[in-house]
Amino acid sequence: MAPLRLDLSLPLRAFALELALEVGSETVALVGPSGSGKTSLLRSIAGLARPERGLISTGADVWFDSARGIDLRPEHRSVGFVFQEYALFPHLSVEQNVTFGGRRADGLLRRLRIEDLARAKPAELSGGERQRVALARALARDPQVLLLDEPMAALDPHTRGAVRAELHDLLRDFPLPTLLVTHDFEDAAVLADRVGVLVDGRLRQLGRPAELLGTPADAFVAAFAGANILSGVAERGADGLTSVRLDDRTTIYSTDETVGAVDVIVYPWDVSLALGPHSDSALNVVTGEILSVARLGNRVRIRLETMTAEITTRSAERLGLRPGAHVVASFKATATRLFPRS
């Protein structure tokens, strides 16, 4: 399958989307805040928005080239587009939705396990079933490129995890250039081979999910990957460590070497909680009140005033954690990353 190649500039209300990207037979996810240009990029590829300049192509097929005056209409671009709310026709059956436009399903209903729903209407389907119908309709075009706009946004939290895993498997069954956009890093990390963080029309970092977690380019990337962000001032300390005086005057330590104003990065899964003082003086310690407790499968996410911790359900039950309780959060110096504050 020929790769999707693009290099474009698209003026938006507050900034210009400036992006160069190549997507092979893989899934690439772009994650970023609302208004960062994610959906505008998909619309540009599909021919629903016109860049000011640039090139969009797949193999020898050029869909847009500002220098040569090429701008193919959407119906002439081999694109399958799954919209955020799926955009199914409510008065048509599943089979009619998939074959809309005169195209045949050609086994897609069976491959996506919705053949038993062929006569059902969208209102009769679950969120996951509607997603599969929308995906089948996009694939019925036999596209060269697949685009997904916030594919999990229409799902409730109770079904999100299961549907996300199912969509991951379905995308692997159709190895073609796939570009999806989302504001949720967890969705991106599960669904995509590579993840990019898009902010104000610029790509901050692009790599495998583990790379963005392990070596984020900056504090903003780390924050989108789920990190706690603390502020402080760093100076050289004893034993080769860097000491950081946080804004609340708490002192913590890091193995990173830097001085001056810093953003401190600590991931929730690197934070342990206790009800009383910690006996290990080698650990960084921050105290705070629990604001909320949320279960995530076999994990529990505990939000404090200054940071969030993610611990096992067993640990949370053993400690009897609940909103309003005061706890001690601890984490290692090696898990404390520092970035000079921009």
Per-residue pLDDT tens over the stretch 30-43 = 999 888 999 999 99
Q: What is the mean pLDDT of the chain?
A: 90
Using DSSP, state whether 47 is helix, strand or coil.
Answer: coil
Domain count, the chain: 2
Please name the residue ranges forming H helices in the chain.
Answer: 38-46, 94-98, 108-111, 127-139, 157-173, 185-191, 209-214, 219-224, 313-319
pLDDT band for position 8 (cuts 50, 70, 90): very high
Does residue 210 form part of some domain?
yes
At 279, which CATH number? Answer: 2.40.50.100
pLDDT digits (tens, 9 = 90+) for 200-220: 999 999 999 999 998 999 988
Q: Please state at what angle helix 157-173 crosses helix 127-139, rounded to 10 degrees.
A: 20
Identify the domain containing residue 54 by its residue range.
Answer: 4-78+143-222
pLDDT exceeds cutoff 80 at 224: yes
Question: Residue 108 domain-assigned?
Answer: no
Same-domain status, 153 and 173: yes
Classify the C-alpha dihedral 307-311-315-316 as positive or negative: positive
Q: Say whether both 205 and 233 belong to one domain.
A: no
Same domain, 150 and 255: no
The pTM for the full model equals: 0.86
CA angle 146, 150, 155 (to 5 degrees): 120
